Structure 1
Amino acid sequence: MTQSRALHFLRRATDPRRASYLELFFDLAFIFALMRLSRLLLSDLSLIGAARMLVLLAALWAVWVTTAWSANWFDTGDRVTREFLVAVMFGGLLMAASVPQAFDGHALVFAVAYLAVHVGRGFAFVFVLRGHPRMWRSARIVAAFFFTGFPWIVGALISEVRLPLWALAVFADYAFTRLRWPVPVLGRSTWEELRVIGEHLAERYQQVFIVTLGELIINVGTAYSNSGFDPARSAAFVLAFVNAALLAIVYFIPREGRLGEKIDAAEAPGRLAMDVAFLHLGLMASVVATAVGDALAIEHPYGRAAPSLVAVTIGGGGLFLVARNLIAFVIDRRPPWSGLIGLAVLIALVPALLRLPPPGSVLATDLVLGAIVAARYAVMRRNDRRSGNG
């Protein structure tokens, strides 16, 4: 591979910045993974069950993020890039299929598929970029996974230490990424080597969040379809739908539309894009938890809510607000007061919600999210009036 061929393989500034159809096709595997994760959490609402779900979600999210960045760096119209995306999608689908038994009989399948996606893609990029300076970026990524791959494999082979080793491994993977893959001899990547096209990545983050909300809708619709259409369950279904709609509105208004511009204008675009990617992991986890809580409220709308149901419902809404507030702060460097107040209100309502039926927790989340939306629209209208008067 000559350097001129490598230049053809890399994305150019004049190339289209919109997501390709193949990237959207890849998101289908992520939808399936989220569905498996919500079922896994639903089967075990303990702290251990939540920890397992988070570890698996973090691994799957790492695959999605690195794929999005690869499509940002490399020309998705190139045949080689398309083949890589299809191969990664297959690996992600294999990971998703093994999720229900990832901490049991299919642990090795999950771990090997995870490492194969990252290491295989890295080796392939080293090969196609040989002779070009960007080759070393991919080489560092491969080398980093040789360090973190050990706890993945050992954890897959020894069930007694699987959860702590996998938690350590995925934390190390994220730490290596944030530190720009520092490895002996090869050094670490510079922020210039990690420069990204903000418009493309912002669009991909928005798209995957909508995909995640799609999993919530599927989960809620399935729960309602499988239960009786009595008034209590119907009311819980309406509240769950409103919940999904409010999550989308809070996510997109008012800051998210400027994310691409902020990334492109940043001193180190890769650093801002990376921080936002990490924070989106919290958003993914919050929607999975919310999907489980909403489904349980539909299936069991009577009697006092179990502590686990309140925890997963309010925890999902609270985690969403934490992650969204942090993203807003990273983008604008201003604390989103409405989100912080909403989070405090949710926490304060927990004792009362433990004495109410399960749909009460969904209603409380809807009221808090609705108040945040109303507050943001009020601020926007006030600013518009001031601009008009000026």
Structure 2
Amino acid sequence: MAGGLPGRLLLRRENPGKTSFLELFFDLAFIFALTRLSRALLDDLSLTGGFRVLLMLAALWWVWFVTAWSADWFDPRAPLIVTLLLWVMFGGLLMAAAVPTVFDGHAMVFAVAYVAIHLGRAAILLPALQGHPLQVRSLRVAVWFAISGVLWVVGAAVAPAREVLWALALVLEYSLARLRWPFPRLGRSTWPELQVSGSHLSERYQQIFIIALGELILVTGVTYSQSGLDRYSTVAFALAFVTVVALARLYLVPAGARLGARIEAEGPPGSKLTLLAGYLHLVMIVGVLGTSVAMEIAIADPSERDPGQLVVGVVGPVLFLTARILLAAVVDGTLPWARLIGVPAIILGGLAAWRLPPVGTSAVVAGVLLLIVLLDAMPGLRRLVRPVGGRDAPDQRPGVRPDA
């Protein structure tokens, strides 16, 4: 088997690969997608607009996540895997290009590209895995994507039911991954069949989160350069910079750097943690996207009161912090008290800033995030981190730095 085609495609589990250039190249499609999504949210800050953007982001995230998971098993230098990644990248670019007009006439482009990505992956991998146990795993996934694909295509064709059918398809796909893709006569995948390299996947999570922050910097920078560089826009731009630095620091310290080690320590069941981390990263990216839109509005119109800007400017950081707290809980078994207090502090600060212009609400949110970072950095206060789930907090274990 080792000399056959499957053997040449697969990476050895004991010798996992680093992120390849092609994987980073693939991530460029996600940068484009995030810029399109932020524009779509900016154009429609209503509940309906927000829900639609969430649907599209969840679909694009699932493309990225399933591809990152698949790439963890295969040698990215193999010509077949290069073809696979380029196929997914092109499909992702088609989906991203359709984002601004998905609900105005280009829903079929988005849906067909999404379905073609997942079924195309199966069409490439199944023949190559002939005779290998992983072929059955890939077949289970492909069958379910074919079933959910019907919901995507019908939803694209039937506009009144589009949001409902697409939401149902996403719930089905996200749930089936947690259930390990069970199907009659094909069984369900075992956790060893789904085992991933913790170091590789955690590195990929960090890279995609940095890309989300990069979208925030890109959008705010472009908006500022077009604003006339006046005093209030400059203040709003400075607050955006403070916010992105705070988000980066809060993500990386402490559990962001230890996710890989925890996945490796769990062994095959660590795949459950990998999947949960994927869901939580989606929530964090939603938070960053909302923050990006709020900062863009604040820079473009710093003195014009905008209720929509306030809502996304508060909800975005709250979603990020909540998901980040949950990630710390599952990785380190801790509940960082400064961050727990930070969630209601941002909400209360937003309510207090209801009548302030966008630059004022941005200052409140940036101030709270910066305060959380400062409190996190105080060694004496960090000892107050509360352990959960029966495990000691990482800073209570001898020889382990709490900010490692």
User: CA shift at 1:351, angstroms?
Assistant: 2.2
**Runs of 4+ more than 6 Å apart:** 380-388
Taking a change above 3 Å as real, the CA distance of residues 2 and 197 of structure 1, as seen in their structure-2 partners, is closer
User: CA shift at 1:115, angstroms?
Assistant: 0.6
Alignment partners' CA distance in 1, 2:264 and 2:233:
47
Alignment partners' CA distance in 2, 1:40 and 1:326:
28
User: CA shift at 1:246, angstroms?
Assistant: 0.8
Check whether the contact 1:34–1:215 (CA below 8 A) recurs between aligned residues.
Answer: yes
Asked if 1:225 is matched to 2:221, the reply is no
Check whether the contact 2:294–2:312 (CA below 8 A) recurs between aligned residues.
Answer: yes
Alignment partners' CA distance in 2, 1:187 and 1:101:
40
Alignment partners' CA distance in 1, 2:137 and 2:16:
23
The residue that corresponds to 1:99 in the other structure is: 99
Alignment partners' CA distance in 2, 1:82 and 1:75:
9
- For 1:36, the aligned partner's letter is R
- For 1:311, the aligned partner's letter is V
Alignment partners' CA distance in 2, 1:194 and 1:302:
52
The number of residues matched between the two structures is: 387
The residue that corresponds to 1:286 in the other structure is: 287
User: CA shift at 1:228, angstroms?
Assistant: 1.7
The residue that corresponds to 1:213 in the other structure is: 213
Alignment partners' CA distance in 1, 2:144 and 2:327:
27
Check whether the contact 1:254–1:376 (CA below 8 A) recurs between aligned residues.
Answer: no
Check whether the contact 2:76–2:82 (CA below 8 A) recurs between aligned residues.
Answer: yes
The residue that corresponds to 1:301 in the other structure is: 302
Check whether the contact 1:123–1:138 (CA below 8 A) recurs between aligned residues.
Answer: no
Alignment partners' CA distance in 2, 1:353 and 1:381:
28
Look up the SS of the partner of 2:114 in the other structure. helix
Alignment partners' CA distance in 2, 1:221 and 1:79:
38
Taking a change above 3 Å as real, the CA distance of residues 248 and 262 of structure 1, as seen in their structure-2 partners, is same
Check whether the contact 2:126–2:135 (CA below 8 A) recurs between aligned residues.
Answer: yes
- For 2:357, the aligned partner's letter is P
Contiguous gaps of at least 5 residues in structure 1: none
User: CA shift at 1:5, angstroms?
Assistant: 2.3
Check whether the contact 2:41–2:50 (CA below 8 A) recurs between aligned residues.
Answer: yes
Contiguous gaps of at least 5 residues in structure 2: 384-394, 400-404
The residue that corresponds to 2:183 in the other structure is: 183
The residue that corresponds to 1:162 in the other structure is: 162
Check whether the contact 1:94–1:110 (CA below 8 A) recurs between aligned residues.
Answer: yes
Deviations 1:23-70 (A, max 9, x none): 000011000000000000000000000000000000000000011111
User: CA shift at 1:306, angstroms?
Assistant: 2.2
Check whether the contact 2:176–2:182 (CA below 8 A) recurs between aligned residues.
Answer: yes
- For 2:297, the aligned partner's letter is L
Alignment partners' CA distance in 1, 2:382 and 2:244:
27
The residue that corresponds to 2:35 in the other structure is: 35
Taking a change above 3 Å as real, the CA distance of residues 353 and 381 of structure 1, as seen in their structure-2 partners, is closer
Alignment partners' CA distance in 1, 2:323 and 2:363:
21
Alignment partners' CA distance in 2, 1:278 and 1:325:
13
Taking a change above 3 Å as real, the CA distance of residues 49 and 386 of structure 1, as seen in their structure-2 partners, is closer
Look up the SS of the partner of 1:182 in the other structure. coil
Alignment partners' CA distance in 2, 1:247 and 1:335:
17
The residue that corresponds to 1:257 in the other structure is: 257
User: CA shift at 1:380, angstroms?
Assistant: 7.2
The residue that corresponds to 1:236 in the other structure is: 236
Taking a change above 3 Å as real, the CA distance of residues 186 and 297 of structure 1, as seen in their structure-2 partners, is same
Alignment partners' CA distance in 2, 1:74 and 1:385:
38
After superposition, where does 1:353-372 map in structure 2 within 5 Å? 353-372=353-372
Alignment partners' CA distance in 1, 2:10 and 2:364:
49
Look up the SS of the partner of 1:73 in the other structure. coil
Percent same amino acid at aligned positions?
48
Check whether the contact 1:223–1:298 (CA below 8 A) recurs between aligned residues.
Answer: yes
The residue that corresponds to 1:337 in the other structure is: 337
Alignment partners' CA distance in 2, 1:39 and 1:55:
15
Taking a change above 3 Å as real, the CA distance of residues 385 and 94 of structure 1, as seen in their structure-2 partners, is closer
User: CA shift at 1:82, angstroms?
Assistant: 1.0
The residue that corresponds to 1:147 in the other structure is: 147
Alignment partners' CA distance in 1, 2:54 and 2:295:
19
Check whether the contact 1:155–1:165 (CA below 8 A) recurs between aligned residues.
Answer: yes
Alignment partners' CA distance in 1, 2:16 and 2:141:
26
Alignment partners' CA distance in 1, 2:152 and 2:279:
20
Alignment partners' CA distance in 1, 2:51 and 2:187:
33
Range with bigger deviation, 134-143 or 326-335:
326-335
User: CA shift at 1:3, angstroms?
Assistant: 7.4
Alignment partners' CA distance in 1, 2:335 and 2:125:
40
The residue that corresponds to 2:64 in the other structure is: 64
Check whether the contact 2:213–2:288 (CA below 8 A) recurs between aligned residues.
Answer: yes
User: CA shift at 1:113, angstroms?
Assistant: 0.5
Check whether the contact 2:350–2:365 (CA below 8 A) recurs between aligned residues.
Answer: no
User: CA shift at 1:360, angstroms?
Assistant: 1.7
Alignment partners' CA distance in 2, 1:130 and 1:71:
18
Alignment partners' CA distance in 1, 2:148 and 2:3:
31
Check whether the contact 2:69–2:201 (CA below 8 A) recurs between aligned residues.
Answer: yes
Range with bigger deviation, 29-38 or 180-189:
180-189
Check whether the contact 1:123–1:139 (CA below 8 A) recurs between aligned residues.
Answer: no
Taking a change above 3 Å as real, the CA distance of residues 385 and 9 of structure 1, as seen in their structure-2 partners, is closer
Asked if 1:8 is matched to 2:8, the reply is yes
Check whether the contact 1:17–1:199 (CA below 8 A) recurs between aligned residues.
Answer: no
Check whether the contact 1:301–1:358 (CA below 8 A) recurs between aligned residues.
Answer: yes
The residue that corresponds to 1:81 in the other structure is: 81
User: CA shift at 1:81, angstroms?
Assistant: 0.8
- For 1:166, the aligned partner's letter is W
Look up the SS of the partner of 1:193 in the other structure. helix
TM-score of the aligned structures, taking structure 2 as reference length: 0.92
- For 1:139, the aligned partner's letter is L
Alignment partners' CA distance in 1, 2:3 and 2:90:
30
Range with bigger deviation, 48-57 or 170-179:
170-179
Taking a change above 3 Å as real, the CA distance of residues 202 and 386 of structure 1, as seen in their structure-2 partners, is closer
